[in-house]
Structure 1
């Protein structure tokens, strides 16, 4: 079948044809938005889980749901590799919305919101970005350099202005675990302000499994601002639908044996389902996609993952860090006891703490609980074993 019509879309945050198995999360954000629009209390949603589980896609869906209801919805990536600060990204993402609000007939609520936004952009050094927004001097505020106080005030003022039209503001932060402590505290202060004022302002986030702990360490009462949802692999029925629906939408089909091979290969992980599904479509000469096609797709898929998805993370590790990862891989996807890893390497755990910390900082591993360590990517242990067996 022709690659040009391939319905599968493996990629970072690329929406799949069928968002299977996430109906509860989507309904949760719909409920939160509707409650906020009515002036009732509602918590934002924080998604946490391994890479490849579809958190970024789901966060994007949250923004779509909000936008469809007339809300201002912006998504920000807080990854350590991103050069712009959180505040800079926020100002840049909000500016197009503010420019649309800047009109002669704007209400006093809108004018105050424009003043708060311009004041905030000036305080973070982005006055050029908001240069096109006209604000009366009386609406400008004297925000200081710390965003822990200015950010909540600016977003609350904007949300209250939107409330006049029955809408609100949704801020979605991806890779939230990578936020600086100062930015994280400022964001959590926004959550407190939203709860206290009942403004239609929702914060949502996505990150690695340790994110709930990161938030609670930033503010002990962070759990009051969010509904935490662990995003894991899909149940078999949902994984099956993710493979079948896109193919049937184009008038094609699978054999049951072909589906079984791909389902077993992907392990229910959304990214892997898209990856192996794409490979199966591309190798199949005609419909239905059978077991022979699926087995070939499995070989091609793992080879591509080994050269891309897994290899990228392996290359970021130093020689000493790779030895640590190999010692972890003995436990499969884990988690591993830090003491066991140290024993396998013949060193005291204290001597390996710096290596462990660097691997956590690089986002290759995380600590689910004290004294335990696990891979952030499903299947990483199997990749390491395949690589070592091949003598690479």
Structure 2
């Protein structure tokens, strides 16, 4: 079963968990109703409900392969189809289920809010309104024709199906509450991290200017003074040599300032996007970099900046500390933007190092709705993975 549902592995953990809960609840209800049927509780309504539940399960099982390409929209589309099928079929067979089935038409909307764009949410709102009204009307229409049904049919179907809907709704409410608390805690922590990251960035910029361009400019001041003295003494050859040295030093300073500006925000990132900026960085790396890119589109400036600077810092850390002789950078655009920076170097124990850089990278990614994962251990290399929301999902 885990292999069959492997396509859900790339989804947000909370969404994956809700999909599994829905599938388990639906399968349990189907199993209970099937057991009752084979024990002798045979009726057309029970048969219809069994068929509808079985097809709903099949619809859910079709979504994992689609999620590998389209992510959350594919999963929630499958959930919508399954819920509508169960709602219409269950109401037709057992009109007394209409309160439950009307509620189930709203489940995809509740599940999809954190993961879909406004256009998707609008469509699911229409489905919820029309679906619930239609199911309620169908229930009343069928109830008139089924007044002579034996009582145990409705009782049996409701007893098997109602807990399924209740379990799903309870888990939705619980997930919303847990998510809200987690976001509140994360917001409180992110305020501190943002201040820390900003202070660290300012200190780093000050250190780079002091150790680099400032020292070169001081040296150039000394060279200018020496050249002036050579000219005053009438030694034109000596002054000329010093001026040549001054010109070379000036080119070095300009190059260093250009590199520093590129580190603050590279123009290439704005003009041509993430892939071009990473390719340029990889070409300048002191360690050979293998770049693997597939289906990467343009994203917002904030997302591209977060991805670029995390990749840049991961590469810099690997060059400085890993001892690896090659780096692998993987960029993927489907089902959502993600990157992986890995090396086969010496690795490290995450608990025994200062996590300032990791905190900064995590803060950058979390600020645009993404997540950062670190996989490393002494002697096993390092792999840093960043994942961002889908292109059309809310940030």
TM-score, shorter chain, exceeding 0.5: no
TM-score under structure 1 normalisation?
Answer: 0.29
- Structure with the largest fraction of helix: 2
Higher Cα radius of gyration: 2
